[in-house]
A and B are shown apart, each in its own frame.
Chain A
Amino acid sequence: MKTSTKLLTLLLLWGMTLPMLGQELSPQEIVRKADEKFNGEKTSISQMAMTIVRPTWERTVELKSWSSGREYSLTLITAPAKDKGQSFLKRDNEMWSWNPTIDRLIKLPPSMMSQGWMGSDYTNDDILKESSVVNDYDHEIIGEELIEDRLCYKIKMVAKEDAAVIWGFQIRWIDKKDFLFLKSELYDEDGYLIRTELGKEIKSMGGRLIPSLLEIIPEEEEGQLTIVKIKEIEFNTPIKDSFFSQQNMKRVR
């Protein structure tokens, strides 16, 4: 009897403190949780469609991507026919591209890093140098806002002095309930808004709740937009590190 009341009070207490705990989460903690949702799993295999929208035309590229941790990823273009078979390998800070029509493996030089990947608004640098949103920034909660009917923390992240990041600061909106990045605004060192990223169509995929549609909107180019739609994704399928090799770039299907 005694023990059960004890247990009950404990449970009650725990139950009461839980929301309080949530509120007391430090901004850093919030970002960490959201980041883990986004990149936390060991491996992922996904199929995506990337639509590049330009004022006078648009084009969709379909791709398949394997990744392991932050270090390794391999991406294969599966459509359209003309681009099919091209693959990109990322190992740590280096990136290679394989093009079957010319049988050439090219290591992307630093000069190409700021160019858009496959003509999109996603630069090669974005893919390579995904800096740590947790460790490279100082975080501060600056409010709460509704994004797509979800209540979000609005967090301002200022890059640390010594961090090797290209943004001056970012403002991110993180869903309070499920810790998802729903919106990010990326500013340069002079405080100009350079790019907005939106996470939409939250769905359960591969056993996890994630935004299945990402929009990247560069602010300086009128009418430009890149939409990445995740069609399928599975998490934690074991992939050997040797999968991410130059040989495999040419073989992978």
Chain B
Amino acid sequence: MNNLNLAWRNLWRNRRRTMITSASIFFAVFFALVMRSIQLGSYDHMYKNVIESYTGYIQVQHKDFWDEKIVDNTFAYDRQLERQLLEDENVEASIPRFESFALASNGPQTKGVLVMGVDPEKERYLSKVTDKMVKYRLTPEALEKIKQDSNLPEKVKELAILFENSAYTNNSRMQLDLGIDDKLASEIMPSIESYTAFQNASIHMGEPGVWVGDKLSQYLQLGIGDTIVLISQGYHATTAAGKYEIKGIVKLPLPDIDNKIVYLPLDICQELYNAEGNLTSLALAVSNNRDKTIAETVQRISKLVSEEHKVMEWREMNEVMVSQMDADDKGGQIMLGILYLVIAFGVFGTVLMLTAERKREFGVLVAIGMQKKKLASIMTLEMLLIGLLGILSGALVASVLILYGVEHPIVFKGETAKMFEEYGMEPKMAFWTIGTYYISQILIVALMVLLAIGYPIRKIFGMNLVNALRA
């Protein structure tokens, strides 16, 4: 009978013990993977939010713009350069932008705002701002109608009051906030949608008109059709002042930007700042956003642009966020370390018990003539099998959960969602799909098992036969 066979039989001789030991490894792998997945997923989600609604992956700028973001540091929109950039294999589209600050006011309300001159058509390739237009809003009038609708459950009405003035870009988020489950949704959502429907219009190149962020519109108490006044300093210290009709309200997933953004058609914005034909940045939409590919693309593009320009990568443009995430990542790794420590002691504890339990058995085996070496190798095989069982089942169950999570991110609703938003975060927990992080997590757990094996092996070789038989 070979060692493996013996080990296998030994495992199932005492099923409960095997189960407990492998369960501790199972949980180690499971928690480590899920935790890591959520962590990486949230970073990715946050990066995507910022990159895709704001900076883009790569930007071409005037060389001084990043250090001093003034309209004097802009560059002429060069169509020939743009054509050259578009020829690059990884560049899908170029999105011209004119970005600056202004003081916005409506009557006595005033606030410093971020002014973005965009080409609404081209933004489809990157920020997809048209998708972020507010479609529903729980205005006081809408609330009144909801309250009077006898078909609606009380719970929905209560939640609606809690979310007064909230804006939604799609009906599913509103459904979540109002705590309506899918079964009920088909019945009552249509009427809620009709009460809360929000009229929003588009902005177009050449037509004066603006979109404002939802939070900003609430602060300045502006609605569709109202006029916003912008005042700032323009190109070469001219006065930039203009008043524009609000055509639409957008809700961006980044509350920090949502509360200060004003979108203008690019040419209108250039006119406002007296910088006709100039851009602050030319953002590039890429087809492959892997770090390495982006770095290569940046290198290729840097050769195309003149000395007056500078090519920036998203990491440089979002330095604060990247370092925040890095710090958070380190914190997460410390948490994982603590998790490993706890689990390592758990595994070690079970092994310790297992060894003590089988002390007599080992003694008998050696007494009837089994070599200690053979016994040790069987023991090792047993432990490895337990480890393998735990790791495989842990990875399997975690993968199922993670794959489900990738498709269905955890979206918080009700008051928790409101709390998240107050902290400036999107009430959403995303998962990161199965990836290379699996390897390191599994290796660490495997290492823990290997370390734990050391104990029974030492016990076997250092066994005092008489004592063992008496145990």
State the A residues within 8 Å of B (CB): 52, 54, 56-57, 59, 80, 82-83, 86, 99, 101-104, 106, 116, 118-120
B233 on the interface (CB 8 Å rule)? yes
Across the interface, B231 reaches (CB within 8 A) one of A52, A102, A120, namely A102
Q: In the complex, which residues of chain A have a beta carbon less than 8 angstroms from the beta carbon of B238?
A: 59, 80, 82-83, 119
Q: What residues on A are CB-neighbors of B233 within 8 Å?
A: 119
Chain B residues near A116: list those with CB within 8 A: 237
A82 engages B274 (CB within 8 Å): yes
In the complex, what residue of chain B is closest to A57 when comparing beta carbons? B236
Q: How far is the CA of A59 from the CA of B237 in the complex (A)?
A: 8
Chain A positions within 8 Å of B105 at CB level: 104
**B237, A104: Cβ atoms under 8 Å?**
no
Interface string of B216-232 (1 = CB under 8 A from A): 00000000000001110
Report whether B237 and A99 are in contact in the complex, using a CB–CB cutoff of 8 Å.
no
* B contact residues vs A (CB 8 Å cutoff): 72, 105, 229-231, 233, 236-239, 241-243, 274
Cβ–Cβ contact A118 & B236, under 8 A: no
Residue of B238, B239, B242 with most partner-chain A CB within 10 A: B239
CA distance A86 to B234 in the complex (A): 15
Q: Please determine whether B239 and A86 come into contact, CB atoms closer than 8 angstroms.
A: yes
**Cβ distance A226 to chain B, nearest Cβ, rounded Å:** 11
Assembled-state Cα–Cα distance A119/B239 (Å): 9
Residues of B close to A102: CB separation below 8 A: 229-231, 241-243
Report how far A106 CA is from B229 CA in the complex, Å: 12
29 intermolecular pairs with C-beta atoms under 8 Å apart: A56-B72, A57-B236, A59-B236, A59-B237, A59-B238, A82-B238, A82-B239, A82-B274, A83-B238, A86-B239, A99-B239, A101-B241, A101-B243, A102-B229, A102-B230, A102-B231, A102-B242, A102-B243, A103-B243, A104-B105, A104-B229, A104-B241, A106-B231, A116-B237, A118-B239, A119-B233, A119-B237, A119-B238, A120-B237
In the complex formed, the residue of B with least CB distance to A101 is: B241
Alpha-carbon distance A102/B241, docked complex (angstroms): 6
Q: Are B243 and A83 in contact (CB under 8 A)?
A: no
How near does chain B come to A88, taking the closest CB pair, in angstroms? 11
Chain A residues with CB under 8 Å of B236's CB are 54, 57, 59, 119
Complex CA distance for A82 and B233, rounded to whole angstroms: 13
In the complex, what residues of A have CB within 8 A of residue B241's CB?
99, 101-102, 104
- Interchain CA distance A120-B243 in the complex, whole Å: 25
Which residues of the partner chain A approach B239 to less than 8 Å between Cβ atoms? 82-83, 86, 99, 118
Residues from chain A with a CB closer than 8 A to the CB of B230 are 102
Q: How far is the CB of A50 from chain B (nearest CB, A)?
A: 11
- For the complex with contacts A59-B238, A83-B238, 11 further pairs of A-B residues with Cβ separation under 8 Å are A57-B236, A59-B236, A59-B237, A99-B239, A101-B241, A101-B243, A102-B241, A102-B243, A103-B243, A106-B231, A116-B237
Q: Quick check: B274 and A101 within 8 Å, CB to CB? A: no
Chain B residue contacts of A54, Cβ below 8 A: 236-237
Using Cβ atoms and an 8 Å threshold, which residues of chain A touch B242? Answer: 101-102
For B105, B233, B236, the residue with the greatest tally of chain A CB atoms inside 10 Å of its CB is B236
Cα distance A236–B233 when bound, in Å? 36
Tell me the smallest distance from the CB of A101 to a CB of chain B, in Å. 5
- Complex: A116 Cα to B243 Cα, angstroms: 24
The distance in angstroms between the C-alpha atoms of A99 and B237, with both chains bound, is 15
Residue on B with the closest CB to A115?
B233
B274 contacts which chain A residues (CB < 8 A)? 82
In the bound complex, how far is the Cα of B227 from the Cα of A101, in angstroms? 13
In the bound complex, CA of A5 to CA of B238 (Å): 69
